Amino acid sequence: MDKRTTDFGYQKVAFEEKAGRVADVFHSVASRYDTMNDLMSMGIHRVWKRVTLERSGVRRGHRVLDIAGGTGDLAAKFSKRVGDTGRVVLADINSSMLNVGRDKLTDLGICGNIEYVQANAENLPFDDNTFDCITIAFGLRNVTEKSKALRSMARVLKPGGRLLVLEFSKPINPVFSRVYDEYSFRVLPQLGRLIANDAESYRYLAESIRMHPDQETLKSMMEQAGLERVDYTNMTGGVVALHRGIKL
């Protein structure tokens, strides 16, 4: 039996428990996920995702994997870029999020070049050297073994392919960091209670952000996973960072 522990927010839980605990969070919030994203970020998450799209280098005919793709914001944009000769796979470990994403994109009429796969980022069910680009937006911090997931992503990237990790990170200004902490631990749980009837899930969100590796640590982890020319861009004062690496 695996006796290792890992972080679930500020709690320590057994390795085998974390995936289930995270699943419960996202089953709870799936139906209100988009609404809460807009409220929590005051709509800025759309700018962060637009930057990710532009830095991806994705073009017509490419194969793209969007891990922890949730309700499909990035997948929808990639679908238009790759066209009818390309392919987008929206993958998520959580069935509730995957179903919300499928329904949303189907309602938008986006269905011809997208497929949906329930998958664990640590053990991606794809052949080596399959994708031109992989993205994971606001999902890596919920993964139990982040290094294992990064190696799995590198494995299924084609040579020359790009991995982009968009994730909450560490603010670079100490004063702003204190304001951000107040917002995260006081306002977010209250928004969760009012909008999604779930304060605890959004308290976990705030805690999971604080436990996620900082910018330089994540850069090092991506390099150790076999990616080259890894760099990152801080956005909104480092509240979010976009890391990018290439498989050579």
Residue 241 marked in a binding site: no
Residue 121 marked in a binding site: yes
Residue 154 marked in a binding site: no
Taking CB atoms within 8 Å and a gap of at least 24, the contacts of 46-52 are 46/73, 47/235, 48/137, 48/166, 48/235, 48/236, 48/240, 48/242, 49/73, 49/74, 49/77, 49/137, 49/166, 51/233, 51/235, 51/242, 52/135, 52/137, 52/164, 52/166, 52/242
If we measure between CA atoms, which residue out of 29, 6, 4 comes closest to residue 19? 6
Which residue positions form the known binding site? Answer: 71, 92, 120-121
Which residue positions form the known binding site for S-adenosyl-L-methionine? Answer: 71, 92, 120-121
